[in-house]
Chain A
Amino acid sequence: MSVFAQGLRIQGRVIGALMMRELLTRFGRHNIGFLWIMVEPLLFAVLVGIVWNFMWGATKHGLGVMSFVVSGYIPLVLFRQSVNRAAGLFQANGGLMYHRQIKVLDFVLVRFLIELIGCMIAYLFIATLLMGLGLFPVPYDLGFILLGFLYFAFFVLAMCCILAPLSETSEVVEKFLPVVTYLTIPFSGAFTLAEWLTPAARNATLIFPPVHAMEMMRYGIYGHAITPHFDYVYPLIVNAALLSIGLLLCRRVRGMLVVE
């Protein structure tokens, strides 16, 4: 077997074991166990949806407020939870560096994957439920929703790779992270559509890759009821650049990591 294939197999094994361990330490074996991963985004989305329903009425720009909030909020929860859980990740898992086959990237990947799976299940569950109640449109094109979700997830992963090592070396980053994740909401495209903005504001928000992803998802849901603004290549390039920076930072922090 080639060295690469063998390495891949070992990393697969390690990631599987780490995921089991993470689920166990985070949710325990009691009551609903790791179904909790989908309860968090679910509660967030539904409660905020209900509040906004009262604030703005049932529709906004002709789109159902409930479906608009849910489709914006769940990816946002993915971003916020993943990034917050990436902070202080290496210190918390330092004891595991005793096993050489476990790499620092595994930690980042595992926490991200758990959030990703949780959010996807939550999304599926809540969208089906709301569709039954007539509050969520039958998607125009599932492929675009999935594509947008993948673009969004790619961005989240890249940010995790950057912020996890930064939070280790800089206390400022660690302390301000929760605040910053809130401040990013306007730049996420979660609660606005690019078409509602002035051209200048639209161009400004489209600098941020998650806005493209959000537009793709919204197009997948509402179809021609909206005019989406997104590019396929630009967010890929930005995300890949961010990921490269993140990988470099992870590599650098590994050498400095002091394990108890």
Chain B
Amino acid sequence: MITCKNIRKTYPLGRRDKQALRGIDFHIGKGERVGFLGRNGAGKSTLIRLIGGVELPTAGRIERRMSVSWPLAFSGGFQGSLTGYDNARFIARIYGREYREIRDFVEDFAELGHYMKMPVKTYSSGMKARLAFGLSLAIDFDCYLIDEVIAVGDHRFQEKCKRELFEKRADRALILASHSAGLVREYCERAMVLSDGFGVMHDQIDAALEAYDRL
């Protein structure tokens, strides 16, 4: 489970501070699939990064009682000048996994072919997403943090993600940040609507989408 208590995040912005999050509380249990809905700049990505531990909250506590993936997003998590294979090797090392297993899984899942031998900075965003998903699925976390990035994949990739995440790993938790109501309805059981740094959790997905529409 993941528990967030009164999370606040402030960024320095000139003389004044920008309050990105102003006190977020929620709890996510094992196997729950939760969406973060909000317009651009509502604080979805910031919240995901805090949960993933990429940045630290200005105030509040985040407790992680299950293994949580790094945020799968458009950037971050990789070294652009290194090849796909090198990144896979690095990830395998820091997570203490067997490189060969990780490599085989990623080759099969991401279908990047000879691009695995190319620097990651040459990848398209769809290819980066495939690599990130492949690696994090190979590591096998209890909870996956997905920041929008699932939307960039083509149909075939989305089908694959669904199969891996919903069928083979139906007991895993998932947090999906998106501004797309369609994606959240498709992947999540409940959702938090974020606006202006505040968040309201709706236990019914329809109620969440309705609230999001009203924004």
Contact = CB atoms under 8 A, between A and B. Distances in A.
Given A95-B78, A260-B75, A13 B55 contact: no
A121 interface: no
Given A21-B79, A25-B81, A97 B90 contact: no
Interface stretch (B46-54, B184-192, B202-210): B46-54
A93 B67 CA distance: 23
Interface string B44-64: 000001001111101000000
A97 B54 contact: yes
A254 interface: yes
B71 interface: yes
B41 interface: no
Given A13-B94, A17-B94, A254-B56, A99 B79 contact: no
A97 B86 CA distance: 18
Contacts, number: 65
B76 A17 contact: no
A260 B147 CA distance: 13
A16 B54 contact: no
A150 interface: no
A120 to B, nearest CB: 24
Given A25-B81, A254-B56, A259-B54, A99 B75 contact: no
Contacts of B11: 258
A95 B77 contact: yes
Contacts of B71: 98
A259 B93 contact: no
Residue of B68, B86, B91 with most chain A CB atoms under a 10 A cut-off: B86
A257 interface: yes
B56 A255 contact: yes
Interface magnitude class on chain A: 20 to 34
Contact of B55 (A20, A96, A97, A99): A97
B36 interface: no
B79 A98 contact: no
B214 to A, nearest CB: 32
Interface magnitude class on chain B: 20 to 34
A14 interface: yes
A25 B120 CA distance: 13
B54 A102 contact: no
A189 to B, nearest CB: 38
Q: From DSSP, what is the main secondary structure of chain B's interface residues?
A: loop
Contacts of A17: 90, 93-94
A99 B97 CA distance: 14
A100 B70 contact: yes
Nearest to B86: A24
Given A17-B93, A97-B55, A101-B94, A260 B82 contact: no
Nearest to A17: B93
B96 interface: yes
A21 B75 contact: no
Contacts of A258: 11, 55
A245 B206 CA distance: 53
A259 B55 contact: yes
B128 to A, nearest CB: 12
A256 B11 CA distance: 8
Interface string A91-112: 0001111111110000000000
18 contacts: A13-B93, A13-B96, A14-B94, A17-B93, A21-B82, A24-B82, A24-B86, A25-B82, A97-B53, A97-B55, A98-B71, A98-B77, A100-B52, A100-B68, A255-B58, A256-B12, A259-B49, A260-B76
Interface of B: 11-12, 49, 52-56, 58, 68, 70-71, 75-82, 86, 90-91, 93-96
Given A10-B96, A21-B86, A257-B56, 12 more contacts: A17-B93, A21-B82, A25-B79, A95-B77, A97-B53, A97-B76, A98-B52, A99-B70, A99-B91, A100-B70, A102-B94, A258-B11
Interface of A: 10, 13-14, 16-18, 20-21, 24-25, 94-102, 254-260
